[in-house]
Structure 1
Amino acid sequence: MTDSSSDSQVNSKLNKLRSAYRSRLNEELERISEQAQEAHTHDDRGEALAKLRHRLHKLAGSAGTFGFHQLGNHARYLEQQVQRWINQSEPVKPQELEQLNKELSDLARHLGSDEAMSSAVGVESTEQSADSNSPAIALIERDSILADYIAHQLESFGFRVQSYQDPHELLNNDQGGMDLLLLDHRAGASEVAATPTDHWKALLREVACPVIFMGGHEDFQVRLEAVRAGAEGYFVKPLNIPNVAAKITRSIRKRRQGEERVLIIDDDVDLLAYLDTVLTHAGMTVETLQDPSHLLDRTSSFQPELVLLDLHMPEVSGDELAAMLRQFEKWNNLPILYLTQEQDQQERAHALMRGGDDFINKPVGEEFLIKTCRNRVRRLRDMQQAIALDGLTGLLRHANIKDALETELQGAARSGNPLSVVMLDIDHFKHVNDTYGHALGDVVISTVGTLLTQHFRRSDRLGRYGGEEFVAVLPNCDANAAERLVNRLREAFAEIKFVDRETSFSCSLSAGIADTRNFPGLMGEQLLELADAALYTSKQNGRNCVSVAPAQ
């Protein structure tokens, strides 16, 4: 771990952005005071209050991002007070406005307290050139300084970020290459105010990528607006950038998952052909089965993520097949939907008790069929990931990464291609927890998880082995290629600075590698031990380096 000098902090881009933001705060507080005075004297008090609420909302959203947390919290409190006045039917009393003016004067006091504490917490990095294959993020943020600040931090995680101040500016540009859209839900505030849901649904209708909203406050209504607009997430400013980066990574990874695998069992050949055509055209991988006696073999070989079963067939009923599948623990959570015209409630209840999850009524509508199948598979994948993935990093848990290693070893043995196992460890991590606290220690661990996902291939299996240790299983990759990949990760991680109050610090990674080319015929546990021994060599050699287990 290396502490950056005070000169490098002053000259860093993020500190320049903080200084630029601070230099305009006095003017912003004056504008807020003037707006409050206008609300006190203006004939159209409602319009003046709306403008005041907008300025307070903007201040509440941005101040905490730059470390002025008390200022941001007080601005949010005042914003909520003004919003209540706007919503109420009776006019605001003069004494209430006088009290507001007194509380507005406290904004400057909170600003002074924040400056004394210098309480920014986050990450920053030196300039990095993003790879052309890195995920492309479109950022819509009205505040240009805040937009630069957010963009720079996201670039620390390997994203390519293009900023826009207005949603129309984005839509007028070619956005076909976007992997994700991150936007302030009050961008274009004058247009949004009346009908926010309709506004965003209309604007985002042609946006095919995942959308994440951010805003200055959180309540039921703004989350409902985000849901109705089709957003996959909502983050409150000040943004926790590592959490945002992790959410972006998960959203993009979910979108890039393979085709849904659907097994359809029905004795009607024409219906099978129809269902096959509809789902295949929608991008799913489909297998059909007319003879139910092959159910177990086909399910084992195809590994479906969803089964569609005709409830009434000549030789065997669908609910009997569902009960048979449920006898196997590995298929206990496999979604099973019955295809049926049956409307008798007792029959339907009996079929559900035998192991089915729901019904698709015949005749089957195309759109309903596609969306139902897609949603069932998505929920299965979400459940599997919740079980298999570490909550902090989004990587495989200890047991799951070891299972993945054994699976990949079997594949490498069949193909004859090399496989590498990498053990990584955060250097001096105990010192981070002891000095800066476990909350910031979690930020460091989460950052490694996100960077691992960004720097390695989709085919690689990545896991958190425990604490600050990580494992990467790299199929079709020998030790030399693995060393190059790990070194790029190590260098990117070392460039990130974690900020706590007035100090910042960097961390480094040490790694060890063992591959099947140098050690053929070994079990997964043995390769892990060799990689761990190579990691120990890196620690002995001064840390912040990569060692390869020597060939025997």
Structure 2
Amino acid sequence: MQKIERQQKKRHALHTARLRYTEQLPGKLAALRAHWLQAYSNVDNAPLEREAFEQLKMTAHKLAGSGGTFGYMEISEVAKALELALLRLDTIGLCEPREHQRIAALIDKAGLVIDGVVARGAGHSDSGLPATRPALGGQMVYIVDDDPSLGEEIEHQLRHYGYGTRLFGSGSAAELALGESCPAAMVVDLNLPEGELAGARLATAYQARFPGKVPLIFISARDDWSARLAAARAGGVVYLTKPLDFGELFASLDAVGLSWDEEPYRVIVVDDEEVLAEAYASILREMGIDVEVLQDVSKLMGLVVDFQPDLILMDVNMPQCSGLEAAAVIRQNTEWLSIPIVFLSTESDIARQMEALRLGGDDFLAKPVAPSHLVAAVVSRIRRFRKLRLRMEVDSLTGLLNHGTLKSALQAEYYRAARQQSDLVFAMIDLDNFKGVNDKHGHPVGDEVIKSISRLLVQRLRRSDIVGRYGGEEFAVILPDTSLAQAIVVLNELRELFAQVRHHSAEGDFSCTFSAGVSCLPAEDGNILVQRADAALYQAKAEGRNRISSAVEPEQ
């Protein structure tokens, strides 16, 4: 329900932006006419009044770029024709009678089109948005198994990692629940009280109603071809055999995209025209993207530092400086060289578009841009950017930040906290007696334990918290806007949860614990936070392990 309400709010924001744009159209039309009257002196072959003419070109340019975005393609088309006529006139420098007649006729036509749009109202335009995904039930996992002890254990283990769960002992009970709500994934036993392969029949019936909606993970004591084929035909993406390895189950949930709840994409929209910028923002927000809108391009560097965007969407023609110049400034910072910059402009000359890309852009979208085209261009660029960044910044085993990236993130958070005078906590976490795990159970099992604690940290901490693998069995967590006392409470909850997680090996199931050391501001720099947390971790180990120690006593 909350997700539906959020979608409705986003659509309302887009409709509001369209309504504001429609209300502004008469003023834009009046500006067109006024600038033309000022630019043309009513004397044939007389030179144009330059300032008024430039304002006329800019007004036509913005109308050409904005109309189609709000569903008014007729406005964009006539404004584009006017802009091209003005550009031709600009090369001549004198207003010949024939050119005067052509431009006057185009402004009159623009007036008729705009009057018609205003008369119809904003409700008649089509946003052209791509269809949104059906609202799923968040991280809710349905478990369908007629073995109550196994079902309860699966439920117990999944809850350690923050999943919501519902357990059903039969296919018929699950089918009733599926008629009410849709989970994010299903774990289904192939054989249920309704008979052999009843789990596959349940999944087939559901997939027929909602094709491809829910990832299906089958579990079964059978490992024969016919059982696996039945699961595959029912839409099963994973097949696990009993006795169930919970590490494999969690890895399967990772594989179907549930476990790692990816941060929303972040986009900065830079456009001096507020209504158009908000329209782009509303379109992107409707697709779950976080957007910051900026009209004053001189503030772009500060926003990039604070917002850490995945992409910058920028108009080419702005009064303070061009988008190309702004991109050149951004590219001066080596840390921002890889941030995708997508330009927006009515420019149709391919040579000039290529020049824009050469000067630092990654893509060029011609205005007016259809909402579906805008979303596709932004999302595809961000996906590629994140994949490349992941290869450079994350640990290959766990998917957490690697040592170098984590240290850089700590320094950035240190300076942010100092600037904003906010709290910051740094924690070092180390698995207890991990060498014994490797020696007894083998390094592959040890790797699964490392992935298990990584998964727990990511899913149980906030999105704003930063988690990294410091090295080996050692991890680090950066907790912005968190007091030392709050951090200790959170880390103790994680410690207790992790101690309850069961790990599977040929030698038998076992559990692990961890110790942690925490430090906080004030400190001279991020390195001091690391040194203090490391000393506190050493203290926790010396005091018996499976505990949290701090560099200073927390305030009560």
TM over 0.5, yes or no? yes
- Pick from 233, 240, 254: which aligns with 1:237? 240
Q: Distance in 2 between matches of 1:145 and 1:252?
A: 24
Is it true that 1:137 corresponds to 2:141 in the alignment?
Answer: yes
Aligned to 1:263: 269
- Counterpart mapping for 1:498-509 below 5 A: 498-509=503-514
Q: Report the AA paired with residue 137 of structure 1.
A: V
Aligned to 2:538: 536
Q: Report the AA paired with residue 377 of structure 1.
A: I
Question: How big is the shift at 1:333?
Answer: 1.8
Question: How big is the shift at 1:318?
Answer: 5.7
Question: How big is the shift at 1:422?
Answer: 2.1
Secondary structure at the aligned position of 2:546 is classed as: coil
Aligned to 1:94: none
Question: How big is the shift at 1:436?
Answer: 1.5
Alpha carbons of structure 1 residues 236 and 192: separation in structure 2 relative to 1, 3 Å:
closer
Secondary structure at the aligned position of 2:515 is classed as: strand
Gaps of 5+ in 1: 1-133
CA distances 1:409-438 after superposition (whole Å, capped 9, x unpaired): 334434544433222211221121122211
Alpha carbons of structure 1 residues 259 and 541: separation in structure 2 relative to 1, 3 Å:
same
Alpha carbons of structure 1 residues 240 and 201: separation in structure 2 relative to 1, 3 Å:
farther
Q: Distance in 2 between matches of 1:282 and 1:248?
A: 23
Question: How big is the shift at 1:334?
Answer: 1.6
Alpha carbons of structure 1 residues 363 and 547: separation in structure 2 relative to 1, 3 Å:
closer
Is it true that 1:203 corresponds to 2:210 in the alignment?
Answer: yes
Q: Distance in 1 between matches of 2:328 and 2:420?
A: 37
Q: Distance in 1 between matches of 2:252 and 2:388?
A: 16
Q: Distance in 2 between matches of 1:309 and 1:292?
A: 9
Q: Is the 8 A contact 1:264 1:286 kept in 2?
A: no
Is it true that 1:401 corresponds to 2:406 in the alignment?
Answer: yes
Q: Distance in 1 between matches of 2:464 and 2:483?
A: 14
- Pick from 131, 156, 180: which aligns with 1:173? 180
Question: How big is the shift at 1:536?
Answer: 1.7
CA distances 1:143-163 after superposition (whole Å, capped 9, x unpaired): 888755644443454433223
Q: Report the AA paired with residue 431 of structure 2.
A: I
Name which structure has the greater RCO, CA cutoff 8 Å, separation 6+.
Answer: 1
Q: Distance in 1 between matches of 2:209 and 2:159?
A: 29
Alpha carbons of structure 1 residues 151 and 524: separation in structure 2 relative to 1, 3 Å:
same
CA distances 1:446-481 after superposition (whole Å, capped 9, x unpaired): 111122224433332222111011122233434433
- Counterpart mapping for 1:102-501 below 5 A: 136-139=140-143, 150-164=154-168, 166=171, 168-175=175-182, 178=183, 189-190=200-201, 200=207, 202-203=209-210, 211=215, 234-238=237-241, 241-242=246-247, 244-245=249-250, 248=253, 251=257, 255=261, 257-258=263-264, 260-265=266-271, 271-272=276-277, 274-280=279-285, 282=287, 284-287=289-292, 303-310=308-315, 322=327, 325-340=330-345, 351-501=356-506
Gaps of 5+ in 2: 1-137, 191-196
Q: Distance in 1 between matches of 2:440 and 2:265?
A: 46
Alpha carbons of structure 1 residues 322 and 214: separation in structure 2 relative to 1, 3 Å:
farther
Q: Distance in 2 between matches of 1:187 and 1:348?
A: 59
Is it true that 1:549 corresponds to 2:556 in the alignment?
Answer: no
Q: Report the AA paired with residue 544 of structure 1.
A: N
Q: Report the AA paired with residue 159 of structure 1.
A: Y
Q: Distance in 2 between matches of 1:437 and 1:507?
A: 15
Question: How big is the shift at 1:369?
Answer: 2.1
Q: Report the AA paired with residue 262 of structure 1.
A: I
Q: Distance in 1 between matches of 2:538 and 2:336?
A: 41
CA distances 1:361-405 after superposition (whole Å, capped 9, x unpaired): 443222332343244334434443443332323322212222232
Secondary structure at the aligned position of 1:514 is classed as: strand
Question: How big is the shift at 1:439?
Answer: 0.1
Q: Report the AA paired with residue 513 of structure 2.
A: S
Q: Is the 8 A contact 2:157 2:501 kept in 1?
A: no
CA distances 1:3-27 after superposition (whole Å, capped 9, x unpaired): xxxxxxxxxxxxxxxxxxxxxxxxx
Q: Distance in 2 between matches of 1:548 and 1:187?
A: 54
Q: Distance in 1 between matches of 2:438 and 2:508?
A: 15
Question: How big is the shift at 1:170?
Answer: 3.9
Aligned to 1:524: 526
CA distances 1:263-315 after superposition (whole Å, capped 9, x unpaired): 244x7777546434433555545455677777656656665432334567899
RMSD: 4.6
Q: Is the 8 A contact 1:136 1:161 kept in 2?
A: yes
Q: Is the 8 A contact 2:259 2:459 kept in 1?
A: no
Secondary structure at the aligned position of 1:356 is classed as: coil
Q: Report the AA paired with residue 200 of structure 1.
A: Q
Deviates more, 1:248-257 or 1:422-431: 248-257
Q: Is the 8 A contact 2:340 2:361 kept in 1?
A: yes
Q: Distance in 1 between matches of 2:150 and 2:323?
A: 57
TM-score relative to the length of structure 2: 0.58
Alpha carbons of structure 1 residues 470 and 274: separation in structure 2 relative to 1, 3 Å:
closer
User: Max radius of gyration: which structure?
Assistant: 2
Alpha carbons of structure 1 residues 241 and 319: separation in structure 2 relative to 1, 3 Å:
farther
Alpha carbons of structure 1 residues 310 and 279: separation in structure 2 relative to 1, 3 Å:
same
Q: Distance in 1 between matches of 2:306 and 2:155?
A: 45
Aligned to 2:30: none
Q: Is the 8 A contact 1:424 1:469 kept in 2?
A: yes
Deviates more, 1:237-246 or 1:453-462: 237-246
Q: Is the 8 A contact 2:247 2:503 kept in 1?
A: no
Number of corresponding residues: 399
Q: Report the AA paired with residue 306 of structure 1.
A: L
